[in-house]
Structures are given as structure tokens and as C-alpha cells.
Structure 1
Amino acid sequence: MSLDVGAVSSSKNMGGFDESKEGAEKSGVQEVGDEKQGNVKRNMSDASMYATEDEEEDEEGNKIELGPQYTLKEQLEKDKDDESLRRWKEQLLGSVDISNVGETLEPEVKIISLSILSPDRSDIVLPIPENGKPKGLWFTLKEGCRYSLRFSFQVSNNIVSGLKYTNTVWKTGVKVDSTKEMIGTFSPQQEPYTHEMPEETTPSGFFARGSYSAKSKFLDDDNKCYLEINYTFDIRKDWAAT
């Protein structure tokens, strides 16, 4: 698997517990290797401390109107007399076989793998359930440990614009974290993309330990959801026995 050169660095992942940080979002087709974001980190507000599990943000209500979609063939035909735009589109698409995917409007993104990495132990490979609801406890994190999330995904049919990852975490029904991170814009290809988020550290102490519930989503600029996972995890004094 190759690391996509256009993927935007993210700063949080599953089970992070700082107040929400939003990566810069860009709509429309964006050039690979030319995306940047700014992250803001602040203390948890009183409002977020008392938001309940039923008070999620209405993503659909904030949907951005992006205008008409085009197939890959149509995108290449548009502005074909503009040499600079033509070269830019060819660079974005790379070695895409237009004859196989050029007639499809909707992109498709399949999340192939999810893993938690920590220098304290071997990688935790998370099974991805088809219904988006893992049975029982999905994973356990050790308090005060360093960890990061790595995932691979495959893009087919068309360009996916503004792919992003969102995650919300609750403890005993109270929302303790909300995250939205931009990943990037990707052209379809057979080889999966791999993205690894920056390392984080779990909280520690008596009040940090216990069970949490969470919801993770992978969406694009049009708020099309490619994967939603509702799960539970624990923070304990030590890693779970393998």
C-alpha cells in the first residue's frame, strides 16, 4: 500500500480526548500534494461537557451545495482547450484507466483496514463489521499510552473530493470529545491509499478509566457517508490480554 502524497495530515483519532479541532476543508477537485490545514486546540468548554449523546451535530443540515457532478471523461473534456488545466487534471488523475471508470458520476470509497499503533505493543487490527456495529468491546487502550490510528482505503469510479473523518466520543452519555479532520481529495486507482494520523496520548487517572461509546464516520464534501461505525472501547490501567 502506498501513502498518498495528497493526503492532509490529521491531528486526532479514535478515543482522543481534547476539545474538537477542525481541519481546513476544501470543496471541489483539489490538486494532489497542494492541500494544507490549520489546527486549533483549546480547552474543553462547559457547553461540550454537558452535551448529551442525543445532541449530535446535524451534518445534513449544513450540507454544502457543490453544483453538478461530472464523470471523469466529462472532466477531462471540460476546458480541454486550456493547456494548464488539462495538464493539472492529467496530473491529478495519474494513470487512471478512463475507459473503465469514466462513465460513473458517484465516487466510491471502501475502508479496507483500521489499526491502532502504539510503541508499547504490537498493532491492534480492528475488524470492520459490515453493519457498522462491532459486537461488544471493540478495543482497549492503556491509560497514558502513545497511540495513533492508521487506515487504508480504496477509491473507485470517480474523484472523491474533501474526504474527511469525524469522531464523537461519550462517557456515561455525556459527550467528551468531537473531532472533524480533513483527509484530502483522491483520484480512483487500484492500489489502496494509506493514511496515518499523528500520535496522541490517552488521558490517565481514575476519572479517565472506564468505558466509552463512540461514532466514527468517513464522509466527502457532499456529506456522502462511506462508513459509519458505532462502537465501545475501554481505557484501563494496562492493555487487554492478547
Structure 2
Amino acid sequence: MGFDEHKEVGEKSGAKKEMINTDNEELDKLGRQMSDNSLYTTDHEEEDYEGKIELGPQFTIKEQLEKDKDDESLRKWKEQLLGSVDLTEIGEALEPEVKILSLSILSPDRPDIFLPIPEDGKPKSPWFTLKEGSRYKLRFTFQVNHNIVLGLKYANTVWKTGMKVDSTKEMLGTFSPQPESYTHEMPEETTPSGYFARGSYSARTKFLDDDNKCYLEINYTFDIRKDWLST
């Protein structure tokens, strides 16, 4: 997940754009945009989002509203964020809880692929198979409980034969606790094509917040083949 040949880097790691191997026509088709130091990154390297950030003391939702009552703009923002949330049902928890409920891959070329989320974060290999040169995007649903989650992020890193070929990071936003689930779709991407693009990849997906609390980590493998698997 994370193979768009044409989109701007945005939050992708590294500002310098570099093709994997400009001397090789097949590898050029991968069209990856990577930083110099991303070429030899192993899966033991920490993600940028994992740095230590001190955000100060935490408060329950009721405490946050009380302490901000004199700041009209901040109070209105939090009230708008909370919407119709029943504070009597939220409780007094300091830590938000984010549960990823479902993950699926959407492609105009085939029915949606629903990905089961294992409890240990290690799906059976390969977790899914993508067709080379196909358009696809990731959709996931999640639920927030107990407290407001600040700066929820999606981070995904992909390796092939030990070489990092993609690093995608996207800010999802700030969410209040509510009974209903949230749904988010990632931007559409295109899988690479060609002989060197096909094969097995390893990857790691994480969902983190501004305090670098990780709500889900999945380490998995996937394949890129000439065609979709038969359904």
C-alpha cells in the first residue's frame, strides 16, 4: 500500500525525488520518489512519528471544557468537535481509545478486498495480492472511545528484498468519542508494473496519535502479480 507513480510526495519521507534506478528501463517504471537515505532502510529503523514528544498533562473531556471555559474560541472549537456527545456516557478516562474495526482495498477492476485484522498484528502471508498497474485505495473504519484523540495518523512502510521502496504518512485528524464509527479513504494510488515490480513485499502499518501512542501495528507481506487472484 503506497505505490502511486504520479502523486506528489506531500508527507512521504524525504524531499528529494529520486528514481530507483534510472539506468534500468524496467525499474524506472516503478516511478518511486524516495530520499537518498531511504534506499538502505531496514525494518528495524524507527518511523519519524515515533520520536518522543512531550505534550503536557492530560485531562478528561469534562476537565478540558472546564479549564477552557474562559477561552471562548477554544471552548467553542471543543464543543463543536464533541457535537452531540453525551458527556455522562464518556466517563472520566484520560486516555482515548481508538479501535480499527475494518480494513479493505478498493479497486475499480474487481470486488472490494476485505482484510481480516489478526489480534497479534501478523496476518497470514501473503495478506493480499495486487495486480500490477492497477488503481486502488485503502478504506478503513475506526471507533473512538473515552476521550478526544489528537492528531490521529496513518503510517505505512514497504520493503522489497530488504530495501525500503515506499514510506507513506497521512494525518487523519482529531476525533471525539462517539458511538458511531468513522470511515476514511486514502488517496487512490497505482501499483507499479513490470518484471522487477512483481514479487513479494513486506510492510508495516501503524495508526498513531500526536502522543505517539500506537493503536494498531500490522506487520505483513503482500504480492504484486500479473493479475488479480480469482475470487
Range of TM-score over shorter length = 0.7 to 0.9
Partner of 2:122: 133
1:210–1:236 Cα contact (<8 Å) kept = yes
Partner of 1:54: 44
Partner of 1:8: none
- SS of the equivalent of 1:48 reads helix
List gaps (5 residues or longer) in structure 1: 1-13, 24-38
Work out the number of aligned pairs and report it. 213
Partner residue of 2:159 out of 150, 166, 170? 170
Partner of 1:233: 222
1:20–1:177 Cα contact (<8 Å) kept = no
Partner of 2:181: 192
Deviations 1:38-62 (A, max 9, x none): x9783323421222333343654x2
CA distance in 2 between partners of 1:94 and 1:187 (Å): 8
Partner of 2:34: 44
Partner of 1:5: none
Taking structure 1 as reference, are residues 85 and 20 closer, same or farther at Cα in structure 2, changes over 3 Å only? closer
CA distance in 2 between partners of 1:144 and 1:184 (Å): 30
Provide the alpha-carbon RMSD of the alignment: 2.1
CA distance in 2 between partners of 1:155 and 1:169 (Å): 27
Deviation at 1:156, TM superposition (A): 0.4
- SS of the equivalent of 1:198 reads coil
Taking structure 1 as reference, are residues 149 and 40 closer, same or farther at Cα in structure 2, changes over 3 Å only? farther
2:16–2:35 Cα contact (<8 Å) kept = no
Please report the TM-score for the alignment, with normalisation by the length of structure 2: 0.86
Please report the TM-score for the alignment, with normalisation by the length of structure 1: 0.82
Partner of 2:206: 217
User: Percent identity among equivalent residues?
Assistant: 78
* RCO higher in structure (CA 8 A, sep ≥6): 1
